[in-house]
Structure 1
Amino acid sequence: MNVGTWSTESFGNDAALDWFGELRKASSPLTFIEETLNRGWTDSVVAASAVLATLGGHNKIVVHPDVADWCAGKAAPPAALKQDALNAIQAILDDPEADTHDAWAENGEDDADYLAWLSTLRSVQDGLR
């Protein structure tokens, strides 16, 4: 597990929370999310995807309370953006060399934390469908 990471959930690390701080300041949050999906680090892509799922009404994903508050009452995201997020998460799952993917797998593919992290990614995907 990386320094600055305390859980396998979508906002269980400093990078995701830092990303959320930037999202809150963005003049166009959906554009910021789209840019993240296109060029972001794994932790940021997972966070952006979890935000989109939460905005879409999926409430089974564990997100930071500040994220849930920020999402409350906002419009659902466009289907195309949700599809971009699905594709981005799938790309992470398909690439064992992805930055965070590799870090979680360092203790082996049967490691409980690694399996929990993969489960989080799949839950986010389910929330985007």
Structure 2
Amino acid sequence: MGTWSTESFGNDDALDWFGELQEAPSALPFIEETLTSGSTESVIAAGAVLAVLSGKDGADVHPDVIAWCAGKAAPPASLKQAAIDAIQAVIDDPEADGHDTWAELGEDDEDYLAWLANLKSIQARLR
């Protein structure tokens, strides 16, 4: 996996996932499946997409994502809660694939703290 920033779409996996989302026959079921069985990076990207679909984009969101979300229906509260929970599971498990990339930097590392802050920001935008 190529990772170049702490933002939601700052890695190859998240951008690949977004490409798959764009081709999915139905976005919300695809996102729901991602939240239960996707990689750490795709779970985070899915949460960011749901936040944008809810009208709450952030600095972590790729401009193409914002453009793709324009005019689409807001997700149901249950799906937003599923994303909050899935992101919390990532936060709570420093051994999870993807989280371990940042955790090995050390809990006081600036990039690790920025990555965690991004996850918490997505959760807040989903509430």
TM-score between both structures, scaled by the size of structure 1? 0.95
- Kindly tell me: are residues 53 and 61 of structure 1, through their superposed partners in 2, closer, same or farther at Cα, counting changes over 3 Å? farther
Instruction: Tell me by how many angstroms 1:62 deviates.
Output: 2.1
What is residue 88 of structure 1 aligned with on the other side?
86
Distance in 1, matches of 2:49 and 2:59, equals 9
Instruction: Tell me by how many angstroms 1:25 deviates.
Output: 0.2
**CA displacement 1:41-74 (0-9 Å, x = unmatched):** 0000000000000100112342111101000111
**Paired amino acid for 2:85:** N
Distance in 1, matches of 2:74 and 2:59, equals 16
Q: Secondary structure of 2:98's partner?
A: helix
**Paired amino acid for 1:25:** E
> Which stretch of the first structure deviates more once superposed, 59-68 or 30-39?
59-68
- Mapping of 1:17-96 within 5 angstroms? 17-96=15-94
Unaligned segments of structure 2, at least 5 residues = none
**Paired amino acid for 1:65:** P
**CA displacement 1:81-114 (0-9 Å, x = unmatched):** 0010000001111111111111101121111110
Q: Structure 1 stretches (4+) deviating beyond 3 angstroms?
A: none
**Paired amino acid for 1:105:** A
- Is the contact made by 1:58 and 1:127 (CA closer than 8 Å) also made in structure 2? yes
The count of corresponding residues between Structure 1 and Structure 2 is 127
Distance in 1, matches of 2:6 and 2:126, equals 19
Q: Secondary structure of 1:19's partner?
A: helix
Aligned-residue Cα RMSD (Å) equals: 0.9
**Paired amino acid for 1:124:** I
